[in-house]
Amino acid sequence: MTRLFRGRHFLDLADFSKEELLFLLDVAADLKKRWLLGECPKILEGKIVALLFEKPSLRTRVSFEVATRQLGGESFYLGPQEVGLGKREAVKDVALVLGRMVDAIVLRTFAHETVLEMAKYSSVPVINGLSDLHHPCQVLGDLFTILEKKGTLNVKIAFIGDGNNVCHSWIVAAARLGLFLVVSTPERYKPSQCIWDWAQEEAKKSGAEILYEPDPRKAVQSVDVIYTDVWASMGKEGELEERIPFFLPYQVNEDLLAFASSEVMVMHCMPAHRGQEITDGVIDGPHSVVIDEAENRLHAQKAILSLLL
């Protein structure tokens, strides 16, 4: 199975089969188990990973940098001022040059087309560290957290909030893995129709159930996991004021949790805007697993890096 991953890009979970995604999760679990025992196999010895980020980051940057180092490789960070992707230099040229010098590129950018363009011209694996359309590394880590906490992916998940990149990767993951996902967003901020239609077709093969429920109180009934994300993603911060009235009913707060099972687990990709999409009481409360979820980004990144490289 490991052979199947070598040299591939990691741009969208849809690029991987169910078996491949489950294998990535197995590898993450194994690497975490070994890390807890103080073992870090030097799988990336002699490898160099470039992190090219056009947006801020804590978890994605730190988890990729730490993962690379713990596995014996080296990484470096290039922020927006250094490269000027598509401005100082064409994406194609950056891809062609970096491909001659490094062993993998983790790219965080705006338009998903930039990720596709980088992958088209890069001779080394390109990993999507978040685009406006997808956040596949996040959702891989989240699946790992669910498996770890619940012992199975046979759970019901409610995504509450903005139908944006993280929601899209959830829809793709559910479709591929045959999961139950209910998406609850304001009508105006529904997920991409194109991704939705793809997922419904895919669901016919995988047995997934992917539903839309505009009422968040109905969406959370009888689910095992409530997931949320910010109301105005990076690059959209200027829209926050106009978005708030639409999103207020979608706040994950104590009142909403009262409609859910007493066992429900609350997840958030973070950064969290406390008092907006989630209250202090919920994110700091007994249902929340957000810090374990953030830690698991490290183990998921290790799985991605070790298999692609």
Residues that bind ligand NVA (CB under 6 A): 130, 135, 164-166, 229-230, 233-234, 269
Rounded Cα–Cα distance for residues 155 and 160 (Å): 16
CB nearer to ligand NVA: give 166 or 278.
166
Catalytic residue among 9, 61, 135, 168: 135
Backbone angles phi, psi at 286, to 5 degrees: -70, -20
Question: Are residues 220 and 158 in contact, defined by beta-carbon separation less than 8 angstroms?
Answer: yes
Give, as ranges, the residues between 201 and 260 that touch ligand CP (CB under 6 A). none
Contact 150, 298 (CB under 8 A): no
Strand partners, 228: 160, 268
Instruction: Answer whether 183's CB lies under 8 Å from 163's CB.
Output: yes
Strands (E), 109-221: 126-128, 156-160, 180-184, 209-212
Position 270 contacts ligand CP (CB under 6 A): yes
**Which of ligand CP, ligand NVA, none does 302 bind, CB closer than 5 to 8 A by kind?**
none
| 215 given a catalytic annotation | no
Pick the piece of the chain touching ligand CP (CB under 6 A) from 54-62, 88-96, 110-118, 205-213.
54-62
* Residue ranges in 108-167 that form contacts with ligand CP under rule CB under 6 A: 130, 138
Asked if residue 178 binds ligand CP (CB under 6 A), the reply is: no
Task: Please pick, among 70, 138, 276, 301, the residue that the annotation labels catalytic.
Answer: 138
Point out the catalytic residue in the list 108, 112, 134, 287. 108
Residue 226: which H helix or E strand, with range? strand 225-228
Member of 60, 68, 184, 301 binding ligand CP (CB under 6 A): 60
Give the shortest CB-266-to-ligand NVA separation in angstroms.
Answer: 16
- The reply to whether 138 belongs to the active site is yes
Q: Tell me which stretch binds ligand CP (CB under 6 A): 16-24, 142-150, 157-165, 268-276.
A: 268-276
The least distance separating ligand NVA from the CB of residue 231, rounded to whole angstroms, comes to 9
Any residues with CB less than 8 A from the CB of 152 and at least 6 apart, and which?
none
- The 8-class DSSP code of residue 164 comes to S
Output 40 or 234, the one with its CB closest to ligand NVA: 234
Q: Is 59 in the site for ligand CP (CB under 6 A)?
A: yes
Specify whether 59 is catalytic: no
- Contact partners, residue 26, CB within 8 Å, separation at least 6: none
Residue nearest ligand NVA, CB atom distance: 233
Question: Which partner in ligand NVA, ligand CP, none is near 58 (CB below 5 to 8 A by kind)?
Answer: ligand CP
Q: Active site includes 70?
A: no
- Listed in sequence order, the DSSP H helices in 9-126 are 18-36, 59-70, 80-83, 91-101, 112-121
Q: Is the peptide bond before 271 cis (omega within 30 degrees of 0)?
A: yes
DSSP 105-122: EEEE-SSHHHHHHHHHH-
- According to DSSP, the residues that pair with 278 across neighbouring strands are 252, 274
User: Which one of ligand CP, ligand NVA, none interacts with residue 233, CB within 5 to 8 A by kind?
Assistant: ligand NVA
- Known catalytic residues are 108, 135, 138, 229, 269, 297
Contacts with ligand CP by CB under 6 A lie at 57-60, 130, 138, 269-271
